[in-house]
Amino acid sequence: MDDTLDPILIQVTVPLPIPMIFAGFTEAAQIVGWLADTAEVEARAGGPYVLGWKEPVAFESRGVVTALAPDVDLRFTWQGPPEFAALMNGSPPATEVYVRLQESPEGIDITLEHLGWGSGKEWEDARSWHFHFWDDRLHRLKEFLLKAAYG
């Protein structure tokens, strides 16, 4: 029996064109508007997906793009903050983030799935931290994109 934790699954809907939303995940200048303080991203399989934060805790996630279909989906490896580094940040990193864009009646559904969680209390704590992180950041993305589009 597999006792690993379920993936984090968060969805927001943004009423904007898909290319504008996809750029929010693949262009460093856009990423620093909502997700991270610094970003080095090459939107291609095997390209770096390196994000850095100064607050609330300084850390860097040195990920790699593992799959990309323009305007459809993006997958990259993920390294967690220092408190979860021993758990998550091996080589390769233990977890991966998968973003899908899909049309819906209300706009474009952005679905973020963070996979690869182990089992036990430490993994539960890491998953909980990341759930709140991603939930906050995806709502920031929606605000960032709408402000960019409409002022």
Question: SS3 of 16, please?
Answer: coil
Mean pLDDT calculated for residue range 3-21: 96
Helices (H) and strands (E) in the chain, counts: 4, 7
- How many Å apart are CA 21 and CA 142, to the nearest integer? 9
pLDDT of 20 strictly over 90: yes
| DSSP symbol at 141 | H
Listing DSSP states for 57-116 in one string gives S-EEEEEEEEEEETTTEEEEEE---GGGHHHH-SSS-SEEEEEEEEEETTEEEEEEEEE-
Pair of tokens at residue 120: 């036990």
pLDDT of residue 56: 78
Pair of tokens at residue 52: 């850095």
Domains and CATH numbers, the chain: 8-150 (3.30.530.20)
pLDDT of residue 2: 61
- 126-141 pLDDT, tens digit each: 999 999 999 999 999 9
Instruction: Name the one residue in this structure whose structure tokens are 């036990």.
Output: 120
- 66-104 pLDDT, tens digit each: 999 999 999 999 999 999 999 999 988 999 999 999 999
pLDDT of residue 1: 47
